[in-house]
A and B are shown apart, each in its own frame.
Chain A
């Protein structure tokens, strides 16, 4: 049984006044399904506007889904409310992108980190709570003596450690990490990625790891789901997807990564430089009709007439490597 199971999740947002002629409906997430097992990392990768953060927030029940099911530990949590939802939250916790914004500047570290314990372990007295906070801070590489300080006294990397401690203090099973290292310098990013890995092994944690950074995802994730315009367009083991991308979008994303050595420099691609379809994904999202063909077809070199009638559907093939494309790329040995 998987720890987290998400089925056919949907969410749309409306913008513009209720009676306004310019009212638009944006389908942020359409028919998204995935599972995360204990001790496993599933990464959701995509560009801005792809719906990856919306998906994470729905899993955490910070946003209500329009349709679909979310079950955690075998129990449907899609419609839980109030005390029942709070009890369930002990099992899932979130780490946010911006370590500067996600800690209350007026609360001491001990109170921020220990806040979850007040709800989920109300029998602990003050002293026991401090002890638990000290223990978890140490696991996150922070000295227990910082407990009585305030967030502004820490650097970005230290705050992210505190943010992780805050999530871990209630011993969750699942961590939803929304771009946890994007705001950090590369040397600090490496420290935090190492920490996340060590904590995962120690506590057998499951991670739902949201990121736009393909290199980070390759490093941390077991499986990856690639999102485009609210759909998962490809899903599979990281090694399979990176070595043999089958969706044209995945391939384009992988090809767009900067090189790692100047000798591999992509010499000037003048056509690329002056073709501007940067904003296609944004336009697609606003187009309104989520099911009228493949959302990527406007940007896709392989697109054919049939793509405009294609009901996008993630179809699994060998090795649980699934792709939502009428004309998937043939596996090669890139």
Chain B
């Protein structure tokens, strides 16, 4: 199990550290997809990258919490072991297929590099594995493709190559950061189908980082909504879509043009996400929330529904949904 416990991250700045993510907890379970949703600047990518300790050279550091891979904290892992985890147990698919491949090496060289690093195979078996991986992601004629360079491939093909690389060492977990955002609509649909197939066939635990509720609706089993460095709501994908409770989740869902009646004014959320370091002590969404009142100036804990894993961080949830919730301990981790 991959468990993120009360993770807090800070960005190093010349005038001291700025908090960027506070007290985030969730679990990745084999065979399940967790969608992490939010606008840019909410800390979702930082959270995802910190699972493989990728932001460290950019001054992102842990200020609290743990990330446990089979009971071992990734933050205290020796570098050699971490290298085995990256791309081995846990791999990552990035947003930009155009920049994630090295333009001066052939597809084959880049794919073989990953296989060599993680699997102990003969030269022949390595090449066969590379060609098989390409076939798995829907790239026919793998032998030719292995000799080609990234610039000969379209965006959709590059994203398939990156998915093949992520799958190379039979990972247990996969982190997909906006895997379809840079792609055309028709290609996007095929990549969604491919991710779903691979995830199911190999029972991967997937963290799907996205701003797009459409992608969440297609792939996720559970959803966590982030706002200004916090998870503000969490629940199963059906609960989140059927009964979104947090005003931010509701607003984010309703301001999509596909939800609106044509020509009608879209229910936009006024203002913008506060920058890291500018967070209020009370509810962080209060400045943009139509329901905000005096109660929202106090720190907000999470409220959970009875016998339910649906949790929202808002004092108004009972009034919004007409149901009864109980306060959970602020630090309790659950999915």
Contact A260 B214 (CB under 8 A): yes
Query: Are A219 and B263 within 8 A (Cβ)?
Result: yes
* Residues of B with C-beta under 8 A to A215: 256-258
B160 on the A face (CB < 8 A): yes
For B267, list chain A residues within 8 Å (CB). Answer: 190
Is A272 touching B217 in the complex (CB atoms < 8 A)? Answer: no
Tell me the complex Cα distance, A265–B219, Å.
8
Q: What is the 8 Å Cβ interface bit string for chain A, positions 238-276, against chain B (1 contact, 0 not)?
A: 110000000000001101111111111110111011111
Size bin of chain A's contact surface: 35 or more
Taking CB as reference atom, which chain B residue is nearest A158?
B272
B residues contacting the other copy or chain, number (CB 8 A): 57
CB closest chain-A residue, reference B221: A262
Task: Tell me if A25 is interfacial: C-beta within 8 Å of chain B.
Answer: no
Interface status of B197 (Cβ within 8 A of chain A): yes
Cβ of A265 and Cβ of B255 under 8 Å apart?
A: no
Given the interface contacts A218-B258, A278-B187, does A258 sit within 8 Å of B214 by beta carbon? yes
For residue B192, CB closer than 8 A to chain A, the reply is yes
B237 touches A262 (CB 8 A): yes
Complex partner residue of B188 from A197, A216, A258, A266, CB under 8 angstroms:
A258
Contacts of B256 in A (CB 8 A): 186, 190, 215, 260
Q: Pick the most buried of A185, A191, A220, A263: most chain B CB atoms within 10 A of its CB.
A: A185
A260 engages B217 (CB within 8 Å)? yes
Q: Known contacts being A155-B272, A274-B138, is A190 close to B257, with CB within 8 Å?
A: yes
Q: Are A219 and B266 in contact (CB under 8 A)?
A: yes
B241 at the interface (CB under 8 A from A): yes
**By the criterion CB–CB under 8 Å, are A186 and B215 in contact?**
no
Interface residues of B in 41-87 (CB under 8 A from A): none
One of B137, B241, B266 near A262 (C-beta < 8 A): B241
Do A157 and B238 touch (CB < 8 A)?
Answer: no
A214 beta carbon closer than 8 Å to chain B = yes
Given contacts A219-B260, A276-B157, A279-B157, contact A190 B266 (CB under 8 A): yes
Shortest CB–CB separation between residue B253 and chain A, in angstroms? 9
Measured between beta carbons, the chain B residues less than 8 angstroms from A253 are 185-186
User: Complex Cα distance A303/B262, Å?
Assistant: 33
Q: Are the CB atoms of A258 and B266 closer together than 8 Å?
A: no
Q: Do residues A186 and B185 form an inter-chain contact, with CB atoms below 8 A?
A: no
- Residue on A nearest B42 in the bound complex, by CB: A185
Instruction: Assess whether B196 is interfacial by the CB under 8 Å rule.
Output: yes
Of A186, A193, A259, A268, which is within 8 A of B197 by CB?
A268
- 0/1 interface trace, chain A 140-171, chain B, CB 8 Å (1 if under): 00000000000000010100000000000000
The reply to whether the CB of B125 lies closer than 8 angstroms to some CB of chain A is no
Instruction: Kindly state whether residue A292 has any CB partner on chain B within 8 Å.
Output: no
Contact across chains for A274 and B214 when beta carbons are under 8 A apart:
no
Alpha-carbon distance between A189 and B273 when the two chains are bound, in angstroms: 14
- Decide if B268 touches A272 in the complex (CB within 8 Å): no
Q: Which residue of A lies closest to B272 (CB)?
A: A155
Would you call B257 and A193 a contact (CB within 8 A)? yes
Contact A187 B255 (CB under 8 A): yes
A117 to B204, CA, bound (A): 58
Q: Which of A47, A185, A212 contacts B40 (CB 8 A)?
A: A185
Rank and list the top 8 A-B pairs by shortest CB-CB distance, nearest first.
A258-B214, A278-B156, A279-B154, A190-B268, A256-B189, A274-B138, A219-B257, A47-B184
